[in-house]
Homo-oligomer: A and B are copies of this chain.
Amino acid sequence: MSNFKYVLKNENLQKTVIKVGETKIGEDFLLIAGPCSVEDINQVEEIAQSVKKSGANVLRGGAYKPRTSPYSFRGLGLQGLEYLRYAGQKVGLPIITEVCDTRDVETVAYYSDILQIGTRNMQNFSLLVEVGKTNRPVLLKRGIYSTIDEFLNSAEYIMNEGNQNVILCERGIRTVETEYTRNTLDLSTVALLKQITHLPVIVDPSHATGRADLIEPMCLSSVMAGCDGLEIEVHNSPDKALSDSEQQITPEEFSKMSTKIFKTVEFKKNL
């Protein structure tokens, strides 16, 4: 185990609670939902309304999209941030969006309530330092092939700059299985992180599996593994989505799912 100063539980700090909007992350169950990419103002507003009704407490949407190929849709940029903020304010939800470039940190922090660091940037140390200097909570996704030790060290980078509000997010790792599922959701790491760190730990089942039909069981599994929240991609017409069409679910599916998620959260509390 590396030498950590901040991330581990200690006598004085057993649990970090982060207030975003009305939600006390770490105590209240965090349910982030929204489209993979912000595509247009109507899309994001429509989705925002429906996920809010279903109990989501944070709205997600990608404006700067890291894509493997330069020829894929890379997001609407600043325009996307505007749309997302507008939709969030309209329905009364705080927003989260990814930041990929040190030069964009100030702007994204201006628009967004939570800053998301994506899996490919988990070891973009300049970016970690930069978000560590803001006063925005940071959701840090685990790298697709990162060890737990590396993951915790990346959180340490942010906290070492003064920003203690870090949320860890398991989102699937790359393993031998790539044909039937996109990645492998590592829930033992969620249970382990809950034991050793005081930070909130959430799960992104959408990227972890890459399949809409596995999201519900993985959400319920994640709750029982002890996670503090979920981030789920929801799209009003997944088959027309400009990115990740296979793993997004509809608002209707999300509505049914969220009912089961909250029931499971309650069940676990009383177990």
Contacts and interface: CB of A to CB of B under 8 A. Distances in A.
A188 B177 CA distance: 10
**Chain B CB within 10 Å, residue with most, of A70, A103, A172, A213:** A70
A218 interface: yes
Contact of A156 (B70, B188, B220): B70
A147 B181 CA distance: 10
A192 interface: yes
B177 A174 contact: no
A222 interface: yes
B180 A175 contact: no
Nearest to A266: B267
B223 A224 contact: yes
Q: Name the interface size band of chain A.
A: 35 or more
Nearest to A151: B177
A2 interface: yes
Interface in A168-216: 172-181, 184-189, 191-192, 194-195, 208-209, 211, 213-214
Contacts of A211: 192
A218 B225 contact: yes
A101 B126 contact: yes
Nearest to A226: B217
Given A191-B217, A217-B226, A225-B221, A68 B2 contact: yes
A69 B148 CA distance: 13
Contact of A177 (B186, B223, B226): B186
Contacts of A68: 2, 123, 149-150, 153
B179 A188 contact: no
A107 to B, nearest CB: 13
B100 A103 contact: no
Contact of A153 (B70, B126, B148, B222): B70
Interface in A95-130: 100-103, 120-121, 123-126
A144 interface: yes
5 smallest beta-carbon distances between A and B, as pairs: A145-B145, A101-B126, A220-B224, A191-B217, A120-B123
